[in-house]
Homo-oligomer: A and B are copies of this chain.
């Protein structure tokens, strides 16, 4: 086997979860997944399709109805700020993929030759950096810097790292694990710099709907700032989305990407050679999820906000613990009190929390070395009391 593949890091999150195998008393918040089943009307759409016998191959890029529904949704969320373009995202820029992670992998396959320079903002979901390494890319990471518990971007550092030899910038905002989000002004600065250097941007925006800020008019913002808000169709930009988080569809493995229109046909070939197509019955469920999004997503976002607003103050009440309120996503990312007797290795601490406290969290060093000492808590819990019980377990363990 390739050394590159053997050297890929094992998931530290899975290592922690493994420490909990066979222990029914563990409150698990380690994975990035709601504990709520997909709404029944979405499941019913797949069942209807199966009953109708839609069990054949489909178009590489996805069903036209689904691509059209996605384009409409994207255009609605991101009305073009550029003059004249309407709708802002047309369906010839959309490909349906086997999950958001698959869309990211396909984009990296399309863009990164062996030896190409890739810049990634970290801490980040480890899949995003692994994909470039699998394709033989040379990875350079630009770490966010923690400031009173909030991880923040130093724009000068980032822009200095992106030169004319940088093939691809990978950025995930709202960010897993830190909750860091980009502002529209920051996106503008990054895009205009990357236009100068000829660098592609791969924007993982799967958490865009899980955004808790209010817009300038006082209403809830429809979505986090997106590179789609400020770019044109011809920009070297791929934006990746998923059905997983906004529609409670993690196990369905369906996502999509928005790309420049002349990239779409080659992307169809890549999909053919990777997975051929998404299952029609899964795509039917996706169409219904988008059509009836207002019956799912606002409720999910509202509930996640309640989860966040329960968990963060409870964590902040723990002396010496550092945590900021995330603007988006579904994670609290916090630094434990720095005390004698608490390991500085997040992985060690996370395993101890499982076996000694019955609390399952993800270790910060799963996301970047600079996040060692930190822990990620997924607050997507149907029952908010579970979060309070988790905090109580953490407090008991700290004492």
- A interface list, Cβ under 8 A from B: 1-2, 4-6, 8, 10-11, 31, 33, 37-38, 43, 46-47, 50-51, 53-58, 98-99, 101-102, 105, 109-115, 127, 130-131, 134-136, 248-253, 263, 265-266, 269-270, 272-282
Contacts and interface: CB of A to CB of B under 8 A. Distances in A.
Given A250-B57, A278-B253, A273 B130 contact: yes
Contact of A280 (B136, B251, B277): B251
Contact of A253 (B43, B47, B98, B115): B98
Contacts of A50: 43, 46-47
Contact of A1 (B46, B102, B266, B273): B266
A85 B114 CA distance: 40
B282 A279 contact: yes
Contacts of A276: 99, 101, 253
A175 B266 CA distance: 26
Given A105-B274, A253-B276, A266 B8 contact: yes
A273 B127 contact: yes
A58 to B, nearest CB: 7
Given A2-B111, A47-B47, A251-B279, A273 B55 contact: no
Q: How many copies does the complex hold?
A: 2
Nearest to A278: B253
A377 to B, nearest CB: 18
Given A2-B110, A47-B50, 19 more contacts: A1-B111, A1-B266, A2-B111, A8-B266, A8-B273, A10-B269, A46-B46, A46-B281, A47-B47, A55-B249, A57-B251, A101-B272, A102-B274, A102-B275, A105-B274, A127-B272, A130-B269, A251-B277, A253-B275
Contacts of A53: 37-38, 43
A240 B6 CA distance: 21
A254 to B, nearest CB: 9
B273 A105 contact: yes
Contacts of A111: 1-2
Contacts of A43: 50-51, 53, 55
B263 A279 contact: no
Nearest to A44: B50
Nearest to A128: B273
Given A127-B273, A266-B8, A275-B101, A1 B110 contact: yes
A275 B99 contact: yes
A6 B54 CA distance: 32
26 contacts: A1-B263, A2-B111, A2-B112, A5-B109, A5-B110, A5-B266, A6-B266, A8-B270, A31-B57, A33-B56, A38-B55, A43-B50, A46-B46, A46-B50, A47-B47, A47-B50, A55-B251, A57-B250, A102-B275, A114-B114, A114-B115, A127-B273, A253-B275, A253-B278, A253-B279, A275-B275
A54 B50 CA distance: 16
A269 B8 contact: yes
Given A5-B266, A114-B114, A134-B273, A33 B55 contact: no
Given A11-B269, A127-B273, A54 B251 contact: yes
A236 to B, nearest CB: 9
A59 to B, nearest CB: 9
